Amino acid sequence: MKMEEMSLSGLDNSKLEAMAHEIYTDLIDDACLGLCFEVHRAVKCGYFLLDETDPESMKDFEIVDQPGVDIFGQVYNQWKNKECVCPNCNRSIAASRFAPHLEKCLGMGRNSSRIANRRIASRNNMNKSESDQEDNDDINDNDWSYGSEKKAKKRKSDKVFLHSLKQPGFVNPNSPRRSKSIKHKNGELSSGSSDPYKYTYNSGINYETLGPEELRSLLMTQCGVISEHTKKMCTRSLRCPQHTDEQRRTVRVFLLGPSASLPEPETSVENDSYDPSENQALMSRLQWDGSSDISPSDSASSKASTNNSESKKTKKKKPHLGLNSGSGSSQQGLGGSSSKKKKPKLLAPPTPSIYNNIN
Amino acid sequence: MSKEAQMRATINQKLIEMGERERLKELLRAKLIECGWKDQLKAHCKDVIREKGLEHVTVEDLVAEITPKGRALVPDSVKKELLQRIKTFLAQHATL
């Protein structure tokens, strides 16, 4: 074997070439043979000559090369300008718009159910009582999932609609709740602000289009900080983490004048539910809450009891609270103590309500 | 001379064993179809068949008519590429 290998490498190039050529010829012969077999079989099975046509029919299918006509001889724009009569509504529609029109007209097809649901939901929302408006506000809060769970049980069009809710289609100036003017403004605002059916995540409220009364009521419930990029107001809640209280104050001063009342202060004029004395008591409780973690043994029991009594008070006043609304309402009731002091978190009121929800 | 024949046999054996021959065959077939060689040759087949009569044509007739024409019709680029590949193979495996 070794002798052969040595002699192989010692071969001239010409011999190698000859060998290569021979291998090549073999391959070509194989290919020709393959073709012959194929043709012969086709002849014997009778399908070899099937693709032949007589010259007369060849002329029928000849390629057309005239201007204004495609290669089959058909006119391109023939049906473009025609109008069809819709069998449903008996209107004459342009041919190219006919199919989408039918889809909406007959109420079948992918989008029509979605649109219909949205319309129903929006009408419901406009007509519903103001107790729902509070829930809307809660949905605007950051704890998105809880709010959506509640909503999903109530309505059919849950997630789609909630998306539009979260964005400013439905701004609710909440604090003076029982006034008719608010309802009127609500209608105005929802029509004035961005279209609820287009839920783009960047939409906000353009403060230039709103009057001062509307602005004030808006700013009572919303963060309202004007974004530099879009020049629109932030629609998140008053506690939104993206903006600081300073920013909110600046915006309010800017929009409402230097004498504008800020929603955060403890002695908020428009809070009808809580006394200022109670505010301070609650604030002191909250400070204790911060320290209760540190010294659990001694003062925990006493503080816990007082906390519980406090939370019971809050519970009585707003019986239908979930987790979010607990923090939301307590925020309003406590006169924004949470917003001023961010570190002592609202442990007392929310925690019992968490357990309420679970139970 | 017999050594050369032996060498050829060894090389061929290696080609087949390593699957290189199959690959080359497939490559060639694809290239020939691509360049239109197959259609040309089929047209020539039709002539032969018309000549000999549809019923009486045999494989041998076809082979005898087609093979030389087929060899001649292969385009140069295909031929060169195939030869190149074969030579590469020989260079790699002739020393083994």
What residue of A is the nearest CA neighbor of B8?
Answer: A19
Could you tell me the two tokens for A236?
A: 């998140």
**Cβ-contact B64, B48 below 8 angstroms:** no
Question: pLDDT tens string for chain A (359 positions)?
Answer: 555 554 445 567 888 899 999 999 999 999 999 999 999 999 999 998 887 778 888 888 888 888 888 888 888 777 777 888 888 888 888 888 888 888 888 888 888 888 888 999 999 888 875 555 555 555 555 555 554 445 544 554 555 555 545 554 444 545 444 444 444 444 444 444 444 444 444 455 667 777 778 888 888 888 888 888 888 888 888 888 888 888 888 888 888 876 655 555 444 444 455 555 555 655 655 555 544 444 444 544 444 444 444 444 444 444 444 444 444 444 444 444 444 444 444 444 445 555 565 55
Q: Is the pTM of this model over 0.90?
A: no
Of A7, A15, A27, the CB nearest to B28: A27
* Contact residues on chain B for A43, CB-CB shorter than 8 A: 49, 54, 57
Closest-CA distance, A119 to chain B, in angstroms, reads: 59
* E strand or H helix at A111: helix A110-127
What residue of A is the nearest CA neighbor of B38?
Answer: A35
**Cβ-contact A190, A196 below 8 angstroms:** yes
* Contact residues on chain B for A37, CB-CB shorter than 8 A: 59
- Which among A262, A177, A171, A249 has a CA at the least distance from the CA of A216? A262
B29 near A CB under 8 A: yes
Indicate yes or no: CB of A4 within 8 angstroms of CB of B3: yes
Of B12, B66, B74, the CB nearest to A36: B66
- Which among A152, A138, A157 has a CA at the least distance from the CA of A197? A157
What residue of B is the nearest CA neighbor of A49?
Answer: B46
pLDDT of A146-173, one tens digit each?
544 455 445 545 555 555 455 544 445 4
Residue A233 CA to residue A211 CA, distance in Å, equals 14
* Contact residues on chain B for A24, CB-CB shorter than 8 A: 79, 82-83, 86
- A102-106 LR contacts (CB < 8 Å, sep 24+): none
pLDDT of A6-34, one tens digit each?
444 556 788 889 999 999 999 999 999 99
Of A4, A7, A27, the CB nearest to B24: A27
Q: How many residues does chain B have?
A: 96
Could you report the predicted ipTM of this complex, rounded to two decimals? Answer: 0.94
Question: pLDDT tens string for chain B (96 positions)?
Answer: 688 888 889 999 999 999 999 999 999 999 999 999 999 999 999 999 988 888 889 999 899 999 999 999 999 999 999 999 999 999 888 764
